[in-house]
Amino acid sequence: MNTREQLYSDMDPHHLTPLWEVLHALVPKEPNTPCVPAFWKYSDVRPFLMRAGEAITAEEAVRRVLVMENPALRGQSAVTQSLYAGLQLILPGEVAPSHRHTQSALRFIVEGSGAYTAVDGERATMHAGDFIITPSWTWHDHGHDAAGPVVWLDGLDIPMVRFFDAGFAENDARKSQAVARPEGTSFARYGHNMAPVRSAAPYGATSPIFSYPYERSREALDQLERSAPVDEWDGVKLRYVNPLTGGWPMPTIATFMQKLPAGFAGKGWRQTDGAVYSVVEGSGSVDITRGERTWRFEFGPRDHFVVPSWHTARLSSPGGCVLFSYSDRPVQHALGIHHEERLS
């Protein structure tokens, strides 16, 4: 053994290791995520969801969800290094029992309508395309008194909270929480560019609106498509906001909705926040490149895909489409490390 090897092996039992052997990997010249582009076609996923509906009840499962795992991160319940994604199914008459946890959740309604999620005593009825928030540490249960299966995308900061080792959870003694306020109260208080005169933010860093209806978001995108310049990279894209701060609606997760006009052939971009996309309406394609490798996903309604950090993506849509997406951008902004590059 030479001097160095002797040093390494002598100090190894002391849990010491030489930085110079790993420095390049620790501080890479540019982001080098293990996460890969991934695509879930809804027509492939849906039969498994319906089989899950026969295999277990929502109550027994607590949350009957098929987790979308990044193919390069299997076994970690992670769709990117920082984010979780799953598709949750609830059937008529079922209840997913009340619990709370430190992790924040978003629900983006993919199929069906009439189920509800209850947050802190207020129910929000689900319609396809609605974006609903479960703030950190609020009691929440899901139920369904209407007809047909309802499926939504669950986006949570589970890997982030796990990374910080900061997660707590608690089951409620009640199966469903008591309704304390009529549906729509939060939206009336905070959803009209107005706010109560004397009250602090009820959920801290999280938006006091927990349902952002699709109808309103869609209307804004439609009008902007007609009346404002279309961005060459994003089409018409808006971010959801916390009306009390103008910032992100959730402390850990940014959410967006965009419309690609018919005939859109976007320019390429890359960003340090990997993003999960849910196709709401229409169809199109995304080309993702990283070094020599290229992925192309042809998407339609209810399909899901991932654009990982620092992969170049281009969106196209001959017939027009609407996309919802989410990422960990609020955290990267807070740390001052978010970076974006738009190719001409």
Please report, as ranges, the residues that interact with ligand GTQ according to CB under 6 A: 63, 65, 86, 88, 101, 105, 140, 154, 156
Buried b (16+ CB within 10 A) or exposed e, 9-35: eeeeeeeeeeeeeeeeeeeeeebebeb
Residue placing its CB nearer to ligand GTQ in the complex, 171 or 294: 171
Q: How many CA atoms lie within 13 A of 205 on its CB side?
A: 13
Nearest-approach distance from CB 173 to ligand GTQ, in angstroms: 17
Q: Which residues contact 272 (CB under 8 A, 6 or more apart)?
A: 31, 309, 310, 332, 337, 338, 339, 340
Instruction: Name the residue whose CB lies closest to ligand GTQ.
Output: 154
Residue placing its CB nearer to ligand GTQ in the complex, 81 or 88: 88
Buried b (16+ CB within 10 A) or exposed e, 240-260: bebbbeebbbbbbbbbbbbbb
Residue placing its CB nearer to ligand GTQ in the complex, 151 or 279: 151
How far apart, in whole angstroms, are the C-alpha atoms of residue 138 and residue 73? 29
The continuous run of DSSP H or E covering 111 comes out as strand 105-111
Question: Two tokens at 187?
Answer: 């939206």
Residue placing its CB nearer to ligand GTQ in the complex, 65 or 323: 65
Residue placing its CB nearer to ligand GTQ in the complex, 86 or 282: 86
Residue placing its CB nearer to ligand GTQ in the complex, 111 or 154: 154
The gap from C-alpha 189 to its chain's centroid, in whole angstroms, comes to 25
Instruction: Tell me the torsion sign for CA atoms 300, 49, 255, 288.
Output: negative
Nearest-approach distance from CB 156 to ligand GTQ, in angstroms: 6
Is the CB of residue 296 less than 8 Å from the CB of residue 235?
Answer: no
Backbone angles phi, psi at 161, to 5 degrees: -65, -35
Residue placing its CB nearer to ligand GTQ in the complex, 115 or 331: 115
